[in-house]
Amino acid sequence: MSSGQRVWLDVETRRRRIILALLVLGLLGTIAGFVANLLGPTPEVAGGISGGIAFLALGGVAILFVVRRISNRTLGWAVLVVGSLLTWGTLFHGLYLAGDDPGAADAVLTILHWVPVLVVFAFLAFDGALAIGVAAALVASTMLFIGPHAWFGVGGGGVQLTPTYVVQMLVAYVVTVVALSFFASLQRNLAAWRDTAREMHTLAHTDALTGLANRRAAHEVLGREVARAARYDRELAVLMLDIDRFKVLNDTYGHPVGDRVLVALAERLRAHVRASDLVARWGGEEFVVVAPETPMPFSLQLAEQLRAQIAKDPFLDGHRIAVSVGVASFRDGDDVDALVARSDAALYRAKAGGRNRVSVVEDLTNTDRERLGASGAAE
């Protein structure tokens, strides 16, 4: 699983947990309202029945959500439908049907405080314009239900919602929607910036042709592995591979064929190393394998297996290639440059010794130093 996928899953997991917490809060509030309506000093049968129905509906949704039978979006619609029906029913009953019943008045005031919770649900369950549209619809429908009562005195009874109160409540609702819209937009922008940064990092550390790690990425991994080997006295091997007579292949068959050979070689190298090993394109037709926890005998065995397998099986339309391999192992006092210099010197010796072979360098000779210095390699 890629890091991008892991991040996305983490975001979705956090979202589900927040939604579940709000759902549990809604269930607790529904229970409290149900008990207050039926057992309070002024029992409200209609409110108790509606509360019981809402509790059963939300409880069923919560169970389905916990066992992952429904998605965040489906949960959002389910909760919003149940919450909206409960809100509209409570408002209509308390404002226009209940008369002077104080229990109905309390239910109206209580349900008005739960509208922002539904707005939060909308922004958790949906994204972008849909979340804003659903939240605005919730606010607008609430105002439509209480407007005739507040401005024209329709209904009356035990509920006294003045125009001033309704305007203040509307302002609070609108501020909630605007604030949530702002933070949702900010979150989307941050996610886009994070994805862009991750993509740029990937591009900067990946070879465009083969999909392997590039030289920069290999150098960073080598730095970490050398530090770990030095600190914990661990084994570390570096294999430097170079395609023999690659220029002849390019000149004979053209660069497209050469590129296809490089891609096929990259796939073959990846398939024949451990998951803990790093295969990178060092440059041109040169590749490097970083093999942690690999003593010299095993690194030589790995190098020989890679060399033999590549020489044995043809590449693409019958083209055969061979590789020379230089091997070096970490020693006390090594840094990345010293380790790479020895593997590069070993590769040069394999080339000079006839190609299609494996060589190892324990110590650099003056000839090795002169050649590395002439090629710009650091010791």
Q: Which of 186, 185, 201 is nearest to 4 (CA)?
A: 201
Selected residue with higher pLDDT from 378 and 15: 15
> Does 379 score more than 60 pLDDT?
no
Can you tell me the mean pLDDT for 360-365?
A: 74
Q: To which residue do tokens 């209480």 refer?
A: 146
Cα–Cα distance, 151 to 111 (Å, whole number): 20
Q: What is the mean pLDDT of the chain?
A: 82
Q: Which of these ranges, 81-85, 138-142, 268-272, 284-288, has the smallest mean pLDDT?
A: 81-85
List pLDDT tens digits, range 223-249.
999 999 999 999 999 999 999 999 998
Kind and range of the H or E element at 354?
none
pLDDT above 50 for 378:
no
With contact defined as beta carbons under 8 Å apart, do 210 and 277 qualify?
Answer: no
User: At a CB cut-off of 8 Å and minimum separation 6, what does 75 contact?
Assistant: 19, 23, 61, 64, 65, 125
Residue in 236, 269, 265 with CA at minimum distance from that of residue 335: 236
Q: Which of 124, 137, 110 is nearest to 51 (CA)?
A: 110
Give the separation between CA 293 and CA 66, rounded to whole angstroms: 43
Residues 257-273, mean pLDDT to the nearest whole number:
92
Cα(274)–Cα(82) distance, integer angstroms: 54
Q: Are the CB atoms for 205 and 193 separated by under 8 Å?
A: no
What would the two tokens of residue 267 be?
A: 């796939």
Would you state the structure tokens that stand for residue 307, as one six-digit string? 């060399």
Give the pLDDT of residue 5.
Answer: 42
pLDDT of 121? 81
What pLDDT sits at residue 222? 95
Q: What is the pLDDT of residues 92-119, one digit of tens each?
A: 888 888 777 777 777 788 888 888 888 8
- pLDDT of 357 reads 94
73-82, 246-255, 335-344: least confidently modelled range: 73-82
Least confident of 7-11, 244-248, 270-274: 7-11
pLDDT confidence of residue 361: 83
Looking at the chain, the whole-number percentage of residues with pLDDT higher than 70 is 80
Active site residues: 285
Decide if pLDDT at 208 tops 60.
yes
Least confident of 30-44, 196-210, 267-281, 359-373: 30-44
Compute the average pLDDT of residues 177-203.
84
Domains parsed from the chain with CATH numbers: 3-201 (no CATH), 215-375 (3.30.70.270)
Residue closest to 222 by CA, chosen among 341, 100, 372: 341
How many percent of the chain have pLDDT more than 90?
41
Provide the pLDDT for residue 243.
95
Locate all alpha helices (DSSP H) within the chain, ordered by sequence.
Answer: 3-39, 45-66, 72-92, 102-125, 128-152, 163-204, 215-232, 246-253, 255-271, 296-312, 336-352, 366-375
Bridge partners (DSSP) of residue 324 are 242
Q: Which residues neighbour 139 within 8 Å (Cβ) at sequence distance 6 or greater?
A: 115, 119, 170, 173, 174, 177
**Whether residue 217 has pLDDT greater than 50:** yes
3-class secondary structure for 247-279? HHHHHHHCHHHHHHHHHHHHHHHHHCCCCCCEE
